Amino acid sequence: MERIEEILILSRQLYFPSEIKAVPIISSVRWLVRKGELTHLVGRGDEGKMSLGKKFSRIKIHMFLFTDLLVITRKKR
């Protein structure tokens, strides 16, 4: 019962913009395996240049790993 409640809460929190097709999270065979926050590093400046002094932007993302699906999200602005 705890697994189903967790997926129900998560499905209410997810928002899909109109240009992205919504994925049905609730399924009888889908369970949440792991969730967590990560930092996505995005390079700034000249894309062709790879040096030690390159600047990066940090973006916080949340990932949800289900038994058959990986969902990568970020907080709504």
Mean pLDDT of all residues in 4-15: 87
Domain limits, the chain = 33-77
Q: What is the pLDDT of residue 28?
A: 83
pLDDT tens digit string along 14-69?
888 889 888 888 888 889 999 999 998 887 766 555 566 667 788 899 999 999 99
Q: What is the pLDDT of residue 33?
A: 93
Q: What is the pLDDT of residue 56?
A: 79
The Cα 1–Cα 37 span in angstroms is 25
Q: Counting Cβ atoms within 10 Å, is residue 35 exposed (0-12), middle (13-18) or buried (19+)?
A: middle
Q: What is the pLDDT of residue 43?
A: 78
User: pTM value?
Assistant: 0.73
